[in-house]
Structure 1
Amino acid sequence: MVAVIDTVAQVGFTEDEVNEMVANGVGFIYVITNKINGKKYIGQAKDYRKRRREHRNDLKGKRHHNKHLQRAWDKYGENSFTFEVIAVVRCSMLDDAEIHYIAHFNSFEQGYNRTTGGDGARGYKHTKESKAKLRQANQGENNPNTLLTDEQREIVYRDTQHTDVYWAEKFGVKRKAVNQVRLGKSGTHVTKRINNEEGFFHSAHLARLEAKEAGVNRSAPKPVAQIDAITGKIIRVWESAYEADCEGCFHNAPISRCCNDKQKTHKGYRWQFYNGEESFYTGEAFVNRTAPKPVAQIDVISGKVMRVWESANKAHREGFNKVAISKCCNGKRKTHGGYRWQFHTQEETAG
């Protein structure tokens, strides 16, 4: 028997309600329903708006990962399908919730779901055709795990100018195959010979040996701090980026990019690896550039402000184009829809 899921809202939500819930960082269970035959597809998402957009774009582009749903879309047409949020749950319960609702609507046996839900491919069965393709793709030169030759191992181990990806593409192997050589874990008969005869160690190999000698577990999870983008105050310290992904409706990859200075913010917060000190964060506070900016709709003739919109996105929902509005506000376009547009400040309202 499937356990009851702890939902926090009723079935069916308005667009504004969904927007508010996305901002508050919760997970969604949604359903795509074929109005003609009643068949359903159940899915999960941390950002429902983004996931719905991806489904629509893939279905319209005839490249959706679910061939059964794609064929039905092509047969019945876009207007025969509805998208709806049916439950809001804690992110840590998304897998269980998806399993529950797939079973509840029987969308695995009599719908478009190809698995029984959750994180993975439980219940999925490869067709004979797909099995044959997989076998062919992993034979001989097509095998992505093809090993490097001793000559190639020596080249990648000695090289200090190019990335793992560069050599992986050049030699037609996976990046991991190159990385394992550089770490001294693969092709050891080659790397040890270079170490012993020339005293040369690749930097990745040397770092691994030094960490091992110091008793440092390089694969251990690193705590990450979730930081308020405006004040620089620590909101919460997570055991790892993965924990924030599972429990907090954030995403592992962008958190990692923030911590490695490749991205500024994720979901309105700054992120850094945490060193155990409350005052470790020394970065300057900055304005969250992703926050909505009010825009003023201005009469071209009189220059009078006709209306102040909460954001360009709000005006977009009322028939204007947010991209065109943004171009006007940034001086790349003069008018849109017969009006001038500019960012609106509180000082202008007070004046």
Structure 2
Amino acid sequence: MTEHRHTNSSTGGTSPQLSQHKHEPSHRYSTGKECNASGSVTTPPRPSGIHQILCIPTGKIYIGSAVDLRARWGTHRWSLRRGTHHNFHLQHAWDKHGETNFEFSVLELVGTSDLLRTEQAWIDRTGCAARESGFNISNVAGSPGGIHAQEWKGFINPGGNEATIINLQKFCREHGLDFPSMHRLAMGKSKLKSYKGWTHRNSVRQREYIKTYDGFITPGGRPAGSITNLAAFCREHELDKTHMVAVAHGRICSHRGWTYATGKRKLAPRTYTGFINPGGQRMLITNLQAFCREHGLDIVHIHEIKSGQRKSHKGWTWREG
């Protein structure tokens, strides 16, 4: 992302005038070290003011305000590079066109008390909240996101309880959820039944039921009782859902100590009576794998001795009793 500035000398919030940043940027900065036209190192300013992010190929812009312009620029760039920017329209354009096709500019320096009023003036003047010309989600300065700041009803959390969410975009950021995925659920446009255990009344692919598991045994040996929504249960208890399902279906014996009442049982360790140690003594060995680990033996070679593929291994032989 390149960066340039068009600042208003006033810090009192004068009426904005459209910058000529699209055609005649006064300063450009690289994404690493920033240098001015003379080649000396410079950085975005620290003061408060109004900033803009321009997508060069489309001409679309994002308008915002910041108490610390330099820190805000860094935050924008950091989250866009990570793919976690709160403005999904801007993030999508960044992912599509690439960092080098974006410019950051400072439109006006104003005092903190005039930030919102001046930002609103720039939003109104540029029309950056219109989809055809900008990335701003809201046409109101300081809003976390227009329709996304409204009250959202109909969500069902991973525990199966209905939830009302105020400001869906902020809620998603705070709870590590993907806003577009949650928004698609609410709008009935999701191709998935749920997202991280969340569903919505409007989802066209709501689950008709959520399976209940009645046979899980805790690591302490006690019945866990009925578990509805295994995915949510696994998240809460830091378990792997795939492994827990495998335990319930008898494909594996246990997962982190959890077993299932009708699941697969571990076989009793086999006892071998034909192994002869290097001293010529017959040994009774139970749990051959553990024995090999304890005595520095290769389990594959030991099995080859028993099957007759190898005569001996480290002095050990096999003789049928």
Q: Tell which structure's C-alpha radius of gyration is larger.
A: 2
TM-score range, shorter chain: 0.3 to 0.5
Tell me which protein shows more helix as a share of its residues: 1
